[in-house]
Each structure stands twice: as structure tokens, then as C-alpha cells.
């Protein structure tokens, strides 16, 4: 398979991850947090589709890991970077099990407990994902500005997970950490997605400008 085809497959997989994650997080998970019992009893199909969206995200995370491995297999950090992303996908898949358990609950307290279990396990996965982004930033030959955003995002993912587990008053700074993670992550990963679809795999003297 050519580098161009690999780049397109990886870029499309990134887009699928983006849209699936938006639905799972902002439509399903937020609904569970705000109105847990009502969501389970009256909008259970939203929860079921949200669960599938998280599984789709995990699946295409592995596809992206494979695509990036094939594209940059000659770099000495690529194998480690690939394993870190696969670990994130596996941990997310495990975390989704907690959301499945909410479907059988009729207690608001128990639903929120399982949502919290999901969040904690997912945070652990994001720690490894942060390591993947830091390594990916070092692997990418160009464009350097995208690599910079990816590196900052990776650092912030690790910092956010650490803060969750270390700070006793994390809620007081949660909004700050959300912004510090979201801004470089959205700019970096979306820009990388567009670059993969538009220029990735094209030979023009070096990897691509």
C-alpha cells in the first residue's frame, strides 16, 4: 500500500474518531451526568448508541496506530508510540464496560457511580495517549507547528490525569485543565488530520511541507 493511501486511511480514521467522540461525550455522557435516571429510562437508545460510539472510537484508534506505524516505521520511536496508542484504545474499551452496566440500573446514585468508574479508567488511558502524542510530535518530520501542538497536548493530557489523582481540590482547577488540554489537542489533532488527508504521503523532496 502506498504512503498516500495510508495517509488517507489514517486521516479518515481520525475524522471518524472525532465525530464518534463528540457524540459519545457531548450527547450521551453529558446527558448521563446531568439527568442520569431520566436518560437511562427514557433515552436508553442514546446511551446504547453512545456506547457504540466509544467502541468505534477505540477501534479506529487502533487503525490510526497501525497507519502511523506503517507511515513512520523507520523512526526509532514509532514502535513505542504505537504501543502507547494501542494501550489507550484497550483501556477505553475496558472503560466502556462500566457504561454498559448503567443500562440495568434504576438508581441515580449507581448510574453516576458507573459513570465515574468509566471516567477514572478513561483518564488512565489518556495518560498513555499523552505519551503517544509526545512521541508522535518527535516522529513527525514536518510540519513542525503541528508537532508542537501535539507535544503540548500530550504533556497536558499527562498533567491532567496526574492532577486528577494527586490534587485533593481538582474540581477548583478543572476548568483550567480542560482548556489547557482541549485547545492544543483540537488544534493539533485536527490540523494533523487535515494535513494527512491533503498532503500526507505525497513525495516532494522530503516528507511534506
Whole-number mean pLDDT of the chain? 93
Cα 31 off chain centre by: 20
Would you tell me how many other CB atoms lie within 10 Å of the CB of residue 151?
20
The pLDDT, as a whole number, for residue 206 is 40
**Alpha carbon distance 171, 119 (integer Å):** 14
The pLDDT, as a whole number, for residue 10 is 97
Residue 80 within a domain: yes
Residue 205 within a domain: no
Residue 209 within a domain: no
The pLDDT, as a whole number, for residue 208 is 44
Q: Is the pTM of this model over 0.85?
A: yes
Residue 186 within a domain: yes
Residue 152 within a domain: yes
Q: Residue 207: is its pLDDT beyond 90?
A: no
Name the percent of the chain lying above pLDDT 70.
Answer: 97
Give per-residue pLDDT as tens, 79-126: 999 999 999 999 999 999 999 999 999 899 999 999 999 999 999 999
The total number of structural domains in the chain stands at: 1
> In this structure, are residues 156 and 123 in contact, taking their beta carbons and an 8 Å threshold?
no
> In this structure, are residues 68 and 78 in contact, taking their beta carbons and an 8 Å threshold?
yes
Phi (first) and psi of residue 107, to 5 degrees:
-115, 125
**Alpha carbon distance 27, 34 (integer Å):** 11
Q: Residue 31: is its pLDDT beyond 60?
A: yes
**Alpha carbon distance 65, 86 (integer Å):** 7
> In this structure, are residues 144 and 154 in contact, taking their beta carbons and an 8 Å threshold?
no
Which uninterrupted H or E stretch holds 54?
helix 44-71
Residue 97 within a domain: yes
Q: Could you list the residue range(s) of the whole structural domain that residue 149 is in? A: 3-198
Residue 206 within a domain: no
Question: Mean pLDDT over residues 4-9, rounded?
Answer: 95
Residue 29 within a domain: yes
The pLDDT, as a whole number, for residue 203 is 58
What Å distances lie between residue 206 and 2, 128, 141, CA to CA?
Answer: 16, 30, 9
The pLDDT, as a whole number, for residue 1 is 86
Amino acid at each position: 500500500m502506498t504512503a498516500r493511501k495510508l495517509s488517507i486511511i489514517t486521516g479518515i480514521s481520525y475524522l471518524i474518531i472525532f465525530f464518534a467522540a463528540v457524540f459519545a461525550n457531548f450527547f450521551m455522557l453529558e446527558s448521563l451526568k446531568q439527568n442520569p435516571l431520566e436518560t437511562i429510562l427514557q433515552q436508553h437508545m442514546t446511551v446504547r448508541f453512545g456506547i457504540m460510539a466509544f467502541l468505534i472510537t477505540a477501534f479506529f484508534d487502533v487503525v490510526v496506530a497501525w497507519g502511523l506505524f506503517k507511515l513512520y516505521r523507520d523512526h526509532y520511536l514509532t514502535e513505542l508510540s504505537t504501543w502507547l496508542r494501542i494501550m489507550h484504545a484497550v483501556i477505553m474499551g475496558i472503560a466502556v464496560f462500566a457504561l454498559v452496566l448503567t443500562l440495568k440500573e434504576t438508581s441515580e446514585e449507581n448510574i453516576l457511580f458507573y459513570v465515574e468508574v468509566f471516567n477514572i479508567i478513561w483518564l488512565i488511558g489518556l495518560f498513555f495517549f499523552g505519551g503517544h502524542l509526545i512521541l508522535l510530535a518527535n516522529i513527525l518530520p514536518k510540519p513542525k507547528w503541528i508537532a508542537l501542538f501535539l507535544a503540548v497536548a500530550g504533556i497536558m493530557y499527562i498533567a491532567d490525569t496526574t492532577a486528577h489523582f494527586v490534587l485533593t481540590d481538582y474540581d477548583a482547577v478543572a476548568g483550567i485543565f480542560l482548556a489547557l488540554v482541549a485547545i492544543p489537542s483540537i488544534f493539533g489533532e485536527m490540523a494533523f488530520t487535515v494535513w494527512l488527508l491533503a498532503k500526507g504521503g505525497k513525495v516532494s523532496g522530503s516528507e511534506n511541507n
